[in-house]
């Protein structure tokens, strides 16, 4: 079969993104190979992270040269990443749904484009701006009014900052979906005597369920990979699991950034390779989140098919 040049060029362009993704993953796997052999399974179950003595002679363990006393455990960072992101989503989803319904149902048509544009603009605010706001406003508030220790840095601050960053993503996605709901559905529900709340909750929201799940997944992906804003307000906790909303934490992305300078001082390069392995763990966490979302959306489609 003869392949036309246009089709071949389009096919080549469509393969660029998956090819780039595969290349990045292969690089991380190959580059962190020695770290995987050295760390083993305790890498994801240990809470102790220690770069070791970077200024003494390296030691050899199972044929791999590492700094003396080095130990790499990332359970603390996995927990910090998941907890901060999940709490952020729990805060952001009600705010986003409320904002989207308000803009779609309660705001006059003339000012709706302006308000929706303002919501979308929040999504493009640089993360460092949110971090500075957190340091200047949120941290003192939490430390003065909420935290029993007087320290505002920690899990709660990171989750609130993340919630503010991801709320516009969910809200704008859901708003677009609500605006696409056929007017006949709304009018039919009203004609049957439904209240405005029942129209929204029973006639409109079930139709945009899949879109809502997709928006939440996009927001969760943003929260899992956020770096600077979290680094500025999380407190940088290591080697201890958080036991309260006010405990200092470190997420995977923020910890990689904070440790990169120190890791580059490692003459064996094992610290940088271990950070690459840590990045690979973050990739697989994000992949698992997206796979779960795919299953959820497939289930939503099945429910709609059965109901029809």
Domain count, the chain: 1
Whole-structure pTM value: 0.89
Tell me the CATH number at 128. Answer: 1.10.3720.10
> Closest Cα to residue 127, out of 199, 208, 203, 232?
232
Domain that holds residue 152: 85-249
Return the pLDDT at 299. Answer: 55
Return the pLDDT at 80. Answer: 96
Per-residue buried b or exposed e for 98-113, using 16+ beta carbons within 10 Å of the residue's own CB: ebbbebbeeeeeeebe
Q: Mean pLDDT across the chain, nearest whole number? A: 90
Q: Indicate whether 217 belongs to any domain.
A: yes
- Residue 228 and residue 231: Cα distance in Å, rounded? 5
- Residue 245 and residue 204: Cα distance in Å, rounded? 35
Six-digit token pair at 118? 């303002």
- What residues have CB less than 8 Å from 115, skipping those under 6 apart? 103, 107
- CA–CA distances in Å: residue 158 to residues 56, 234, 249, 250: 37, 5, 9, 9
For the chain, which residues score pLDDT lower than 50? 300-308
> Closest Cα to residue 84, out of 195, 237, 210, 198?
237
Q: How many CB atoms lie within 10 A of CB 297?
A: 17
Q: Indicate whether 52 belongs to any domain.
A: no
Express each pLDDT in 154-200 by its tens digit: 999 999 999 999 999 999 999 999 999 888 888 888 888 888 899 99
Express each pLDDT in 287-296 by its tens digit: 888 888 777 7
Return the pLDDT at 307. Answer: 46
Return the pLDDT at 126. Answer: 93
> Closest Cα to residue 125, out of 172, 171, 165, 167?
165
Express each pLDDT in 58-90 by its tens digit: 999 888 999 999 999 999 999 999 999 999 999
Q: Indicate whether 44 belongs to any domain.
A: no
Q: Indicate whether 9 belongs to any domain.
A: no
CA atoms within 13 A on the CB side of 136: 6
């Amino acid at each position: 079969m003869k392949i036309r040049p246009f089709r071949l060029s389009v096919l080549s362009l469509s393969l660029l993104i998956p090819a780039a993704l595969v290349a990045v993953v292969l690089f991380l796997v190959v580059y962190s190979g020695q770290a995987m052999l050295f760390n083993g399974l305790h890498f994801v179950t240990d809470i102790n992270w220690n770069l070791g003595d970077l200024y003494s002679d390296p030691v050899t363990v199972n044929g791999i040269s590492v700094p003396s006393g080095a130990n790499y455990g990332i359970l603390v960072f996995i927990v910090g990443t998941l907890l901060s992101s999940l709490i952020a989503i729990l805060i952001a989803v009600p705010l986003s749904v409320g904002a989207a319904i308000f803009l779609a149902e309660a705001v006059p048509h003339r000012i709706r484009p302006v308000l929706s544009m303002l919501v979308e603009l929040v999504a493009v605010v640089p993360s460092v701006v949110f971090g500075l706001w957190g340091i200047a406003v949120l941290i003192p508030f939490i430390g003065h009014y909420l935290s029993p220790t007087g320290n505002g840095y920690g899990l709660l601050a990171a989750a609130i900052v993340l919630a503010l960053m991801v709320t516009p993503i969910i809200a704008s996605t859901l708003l677009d979906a609500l605006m696409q709901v056929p007017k006949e559905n709304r009018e039919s529900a009203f004609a049957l005597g439904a209240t405005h709340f029942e129209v929204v909750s029973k006639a409109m929201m079930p139709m945009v369920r899949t879109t809502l799940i997709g928006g939440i997944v996009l927001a969760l992906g943003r929260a899992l990979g956020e770096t600077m804003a979290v680094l500025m307000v999380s407190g940088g906790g290591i080697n201890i699991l958080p036991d309260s909303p006010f405990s200092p934490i470190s997420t995977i992305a923020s910890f990689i950034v904070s440790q990169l300078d120190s890791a580059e001082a490692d003459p064996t390069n094992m610290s940088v390779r271990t950070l690459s392995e840590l990045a690979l763990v973050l990739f697989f966490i994000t992949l698992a989140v997206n796979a779960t979302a795919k299953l959820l959306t497939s289930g939503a489609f099945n429910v709609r098919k059965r109901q029809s």
